[in-house]
Amino acid sequence: MLFDLNRYSINDFKHETRQLLTLALPMMLGQIATIAIGVVDTIMAGAAGKADLSAVALGSSVFVTVFITFMGIMAALNPMIAQLFGANKTDEVGKTGQQGIWFGIIFGIIGMILMLALIVPLKNYLHMDDYIEAQFGQYLFYVALAMPFALVYQALSAYASSLNRPKPIMWINWAALIINIPLNWLFIFKFNMGGSGAGLATLFIFCFNSFALFCHIWKNPYFQPFGLTQTFRLPELTAQKNIWKLGWAIGLSYFLEVSLFSFIVWLIADLGEDFVAAQQIVGNLNSMVYMIPQAIGSAATVRVGQSIGRRQFARARYISGVSLLSGWVLALCTFTLLLTLNQALVGLYTQDASVLHIGASLLIFVGFFQLFDFTQCIASYALRGYKITRVPMVIHAIAFWLLGLLPGYALAYWANMGIYGFWAALILSLASAASALVWYLNKRSLWAMKNRAL
């Protein structure tokens, strides 16, 4: 049977599912809170006006592309720390976590400079209302300043979750969501900043997140034996190279996927602001749903990595199978909800008749999209537990761009399907990626089990 799911008893299956969900549920709730901040930004920017919503949609597409790409590089810390923790290398855990913080600071500054440099060229590229272009530039300026804090928070999150402590991250993210609402109101409406006020609120939120999680790790006795906050270390070139060596392929995989959606936002700009606004709403909902497979996948990375650290290769393969099976069940549930509640969900964002109609239609495509997105996401995360990142990156490159963006453009403009052509191609690209990644995960986990090596 695939991934030897019949090799263990039903009690083993229940135990591993329970362990997986114990990690995944706080991760998912925390990630949902993070995405909900983007949802709140979209809703409150939309309340300020359609032009503000379009500016935030364009600005957030740039920010999300850069941030998630860099966040992918930071994701290298999860399997690194999980394997060290599984092997009971306590001192190395703290050292790697501290080097991860330095890595986040360095790459956060690089990301900030990159986004600041993009403001003028992207404003020149746009052919939209002057107000939209101005709001777009101001929004991007504020979120660029948030990048160093955002990546430090990612380093601290990877550290805590890999040590089986995801709940503090969850509570901090939910606190940030609550704080974000009055901050948005203050900047968008009270100070009359419009949509760009959501960008300033984002800056404050990432400052809060990184400070709060660092203080928790510093004060919590559970983390003290690992020595993250007990000893100060300067960045070490070898450690930084090791993180980069494992992380660049993950970051590129993230970029290939998220840039697909960002490019679509820019490619449909000529269709009008109704389509841009609808895509932003659907993108927010899709991002919210994506937190489910991402949480299961993140938990799989940690569980697989810890099992490999203990040299339990058969168990690591079994965990990969349990993770995929759990994802398939959740994907079917999500599919049903999206198709049943498509009108109601889009109606939470807007009452504009045109945007509502387009968004509700797109959400049907999103429902089918999830069946394959859950699979490819969890499979790629399980492979990270084995520290395998380059082949998944190649699979994502072929699937997302050759089978996704290019056919999507052809269907949209040559076949006159408009925005729906992009989503039809996305479903094809995700189906291809899911099939390839499950096949490769099965092959590599079987090899590791038989040879007791990576």
**pLDDT at position 1, please?**
64
Decide: helix, strand or coil at residue 286. helix
The DSSP secondary structure of 397-447, one letter per residue, reads HIIIIIIIIHHHHIIIIIS--THHHHHHHHHHHHHHHHHHHHHHHHHHHHH
**How does pLDDT run across 118-138, given as a tens digit for each residue?**
999 998 888 778 888 899 999
Q: Is the dihedral of CA 63, 251, 170, 232 positive or negative?
A: negative
Supply 356's token pair.
């509502």
The contacts of residue 190 (CB under 8 Å, 6+ apart) are none
Read off the pTM: 0.85
**pLDDT at position 166, please?**
92
Nearest alpha-carbon partner for 404 in 375, 369, 380, 438: 369
Residue with tokens 């599912």: 17
Residue with tokens 């490819």: 376
Parts of the chain with a pLDDT under 70: 1
**pLDDT at position 7, please?**
81
The DSSP secondary structure of 50-107, one letter per residue, reads HHHHHHHHHHHHHHHHHHHHHHHHHTTHHHHHHHHHHTT-HHHHHHHHHHHHHHHHHH
Helices and strands in the chain: count of H runs, count of E runs: 16, 0
**How does pLDDT run across 383-442, given as a tens digit for each residue?**
999 999 999 999 999 998 899 888 999 998 899 888 999 999 999 999 999 999 999 999
**What's phi and psi for 165, nearest 5 deg?**
-130, 70
**What's phi and psi for 114, nearest 5 deg?**
-60, -45
Supply 10's token pair.
């039903």
Report d(CA 266, CA 126) in Å as an integer. Answer: 9
- Radius of gyration of the chain from its Cα atoms, rounded to whole angstroms: 21
Report d(CA 373, CA 370) in Å as an integer. Answer: 5
